[in-house]
A and B are shown apart, each in its own frame.
Chain A
Amino acid sequence: EIVLTQSPGTLSLSPEERATLSCRASQSLSTTYVAWYQQKPGQAPRLLMYGTSSRATGIPDRFSGSGSGTDFTLTISRLEPEDSAVYYCHQYASAPNTFGLGTRLEIK
């Protein structure tokens, strides 16, 4: 099973700052099979990125994804209060699909 390690566990930043969220895989992954989700309290997750760097419908261009091999990054520029959430990376390159434990982003 591929383990995804997300860091940091919690990130506290101010509006307008940039957030960099990391996701490290225990094995090399094709970029095709990495996605990111945002989850706010009491809500279902929301697809942000697929194929590492492609934004899902309706996702603002402040969100970007990058990476290859075992290291993947979600970057959120110009943070807004509404970005406060938990962010999960997800791989489906190898069964079983796995998620990271999440990064909690707090906007001060």
Chain B
Amino acid sequence: QVQLVQSGAEVKKPEASVKVSCEASGYTLSDHYLHWMRQAPGQGLEWMGWINPDSGGTNYAQRFQGRVTMTRDTSINTAYVELSSLKFDDTAVYYCAREVNFGPGKGMDVWGQGTTVTVSS
């Protein structure tokens, strides 16, 4: 079945970087835009950006500009998000999600299980 499987939990120190992977199965990664969101403990969803896995083109939320990099490796159907210069408030669950254009609208119909990133000294 169609699914996105993310890498495991990470614990990082402030100012370090973290790279989270998202492997697509049951479909070809290149066929759909992939979005990254995060959710701090007890908080709502925050959109970080998207990658077009076909072209490699990206669009990042302004607040992450300069700190986030989204990439993909189509040979292994996997996308990545890397966040640098980590701060304590980057502690969150990070999600990848597939975007589908249904015609009358778009939506993120398949989500990864989430990756917990903890920033701690």
Contact = CB atoms under 8 A, between A and B. Distances in A.
Contacts, number: 71
A46 B45 CA distance: 12
Interface string B95-121: 101000011111111011110000000
The dominant DSSP class at the B interface is: strand
Contacts of B35: 97
B55 interface: no
Contacts of A46: 111
Interface of B: 35, 37, 44-47, 49, 59, 61-62, 95, 97, 102-109, 111-114
Given A44-B111, A88-B44, 7 more contacts: A37-B45, A51-B106, A90-B45, A92-B106, A96-B62, A99-B37, A99-B46
Interface of A: 31-35, 37, 39, 44-47, 49-52, 54, 56-57, 88, 90, 92, 95-102
